[in-house]
Amino acid sequence: MAKSTRNSGKQSTSGEVSQLKQLVKGNTPTRVIGLKLGRTENAIYNKASEEGISLAPTNQSPYGTKK
């Protein structure tokens, strides 16, 4: 059973979506994003998918190669 959060069942606002984008750019973990936005991790994954936002860390080399 998912934890109840302060925004459970409410639609995301455009401000929350822009905050989500900023947090993702800063490589913030999804759990922390969820806490900041008052949403569950699953809600963050779903909203990112709906908005076409990649949650993949940007500071890692592709294919596991290290330089």
- Write down the pLDDT at residue 1: 45
The ranges of the chain with pLDDT < 50 are: 1
- Write down the pLDDT at residue 14: 83
Q: Does the predicted TM-score (pTM) go above 0.95? A: no
Residue 19 to residues 16, 26, 38: CA-CA distances in angstroms? 5, 11, 12
Residue 20 phi/psi, 5-degree rounding, is: -60, -45
- Write down the pLDDT at residue 53: 92
- Write down the pLDDT at residue 6: 77
- Please write the tens of the pLDDT for every residue from 7-24: 777 777 888 999 999 999
